[in-house]
Copies of this chain bind each other. A is one copy, B any other.
C-alpha cells in the first residue's frame, strides 16, 4: 500500500511491523557487503588462464621483449584493441598502467602545475571548478576535492548530463575547467550519454582549456545482448570545433582482474603529446608483461566482447534479483525509485528525501554494509539525502537476496519514521 496515502495510525502500525522485522534482521547476525563495485570470484575465474601468461612467450607481436624497459605509450597491439573498443583509433589511444584513475589524477596534477595545451597559465594560478553530474563516481570527486577544485553539481539525466544546466554555468564562468563524466552505464545510475547530448556538450561555449573527463569505464560492460556502440567522441569533438576537449579513459579492471588490469587513455594528438611529455618524467613506462598477458588472453576487441558476454551471464541475474526485490518490497509503498540499468556495476536507489543516511545506518547496524551516505556526490553531500548506491556483483546470490531484503526493510522503516515525523 502507498505509504503516502496511509493514515497516521496505519503508518504507525506499519512502522511497528517493520520495526519487528528489522529486529529479526539484526538478530540474524549478518555480515554482508554491498559497498563497492567489485567483481565476484566467479567473474574473476573467467580470466583464470591469464594467471599463467605470458609463459615463455614474452615477446610482443611487434618483437618487443616485454621483460625489459621501454615504451611509455604501451604495446601497439593493445592500443589497437582499445582504440576499437572505445572508438578512438590506435594512434589516439595509449595502453598504460593498472589504474585509469591514476591517469586522471596525473592529468589533473599536470594541469594544476602547468596547465593543459590550451591554458594561458597553470590551473593552480587561480581558483577553478569542475562540473559534476550527480549522482556520480566518488573517486572522481575525491581527486578534485583533494586539490581544492570547487565542484558544482549538475543533474545526470537518463540521456546524460543536463546540457542546459552545463551551458548556463559554463557561459558565465571561465574558471570551470573540467567535467567528470561516465558516459556509458554511468556510475551509479546506469545512464548512457546519447549522441545528441554528447554533441551538444562538445559544442558548448567554455574556457578554451575546459576538458571533459570521459571515463568510459563501462563501455563494454553490458547486461543486455548488445552494448551500444561507443560514440566516436574524439571525432565528434573535432567536428564540434573543440578537438582537444575530451580525455577518454577506460580499463580492463572489470574485464579481467580488478586492480591488475590495463588502463587506456585516448585523446587528440596534441593532448597525447602533452600527456606523454609529462608522464615520461614520472615513469619509464607501463608494465608491458601485463599488457602482453592481456593481449594474449583477450586477443582483440571481439575477444573482449565475447568475454563480457560471459560476465553478463553471471551478473545479469544478480541485477535482476535486486530489481525484483526492490519491486516486490518497495513497489507498492511508493517510497523509492530506482534505475534499471542495461549495463555497468550499479543500481541507483532513491528513497524518501531525508532517509538515505538513516537507511544506511539501519542497514549497517543489521550487518549490511552499504556505500556511505552521500558518496555519489561531491563533498559526500547528497543535497536531498535520498541516494543509495547498490553494488550487486560481489556478493553471492544468496547473500545478495538477504542483503537486499534487509535494505528494503531499512528503507521502508526509515520512510515510516520520516512520514510520521511530518504527519
Q: 15 more A-B contacts (CB under 8 A) besides A99-B283, A143-B282?
A: A39-B68, A41-B65, A41-B68, A48-B56, A51-B54, A68-B258, A68-B259, A98-B98, A98-B286, A98-B287, A101-B282, A106-B282, A109-B113, A139-B284, A145-B281
Interface footprint category on A: 35 or more
C-alpha spacing A198/B145, complex, angstroms? 38
**Residue of chain B at shortest CB distance from A257:** B67
| Nearest chain B CB to A8 CB, angstrom units | 46
Answer whether residue A112 sits at the interface, using C-beta atoms and an 8 A cutoff.
yes
CB–CB B101/A147 < 8 A:
no
Chain B residues near A69: list those with CB within 8 A: 36, 38, 253, 258-259
Q: Give residues of chain A (91-112) contacting chain B, Cβ–Cβ below 8 Å.
A: 97-99, 101-102, 105-106, 109, 112
24 contacts between A and B (CB under 8 A): A36-B69, A38-B70, A51-B53, A67-B258, A68-B258, A68-B259, A69-B253, A69-B258, A70-B259, A98-B98, A98-B283, A98-B286, A102-B282, A105-B281, A109-B109, A113-B113, A113-B124, A113-B147, A124-B124, A145-B281, A146-B281, A257-B289, A259-B288, A290-B290
- Interface residue from B56, B68, B101, B102 paired with A51 (Cβ < 8 Å): B56
Query: What is the CA–CA distance of A281 and B58 in the complex, to the nearest angstrom?
Result: 33
A41→B289 CA distance, assembly (Å): 15
Which of A13-64 touch B at CB < 8 Å? 36, 38-39, 41, 44, 47-48, 51-56, 58
The chain A residues found within 8 Å of chain B, CB to CB, are: 36, 38-39, 41, 44, 47-48, 51-56, 58, 65-70, 97-99, 101-102, 105-106, 109, 112-113, 124, 139, 142-143, 145-147, 253, 257-260, 278, 280-290
User: Is B51 touching A289 in the complex (CB atoms < 8 A)?
Assistant: yes
A38 CB to closest chain B CB (Å) equals 5
Q: Which residues of B contact A124 (CB under 8 A)?
A: 113, 124
Is the CB–CB distance between B44 and A68 below 8 Å? yes
Q: Are A51 and B44 in contact (CB under 8 A)?
A: no
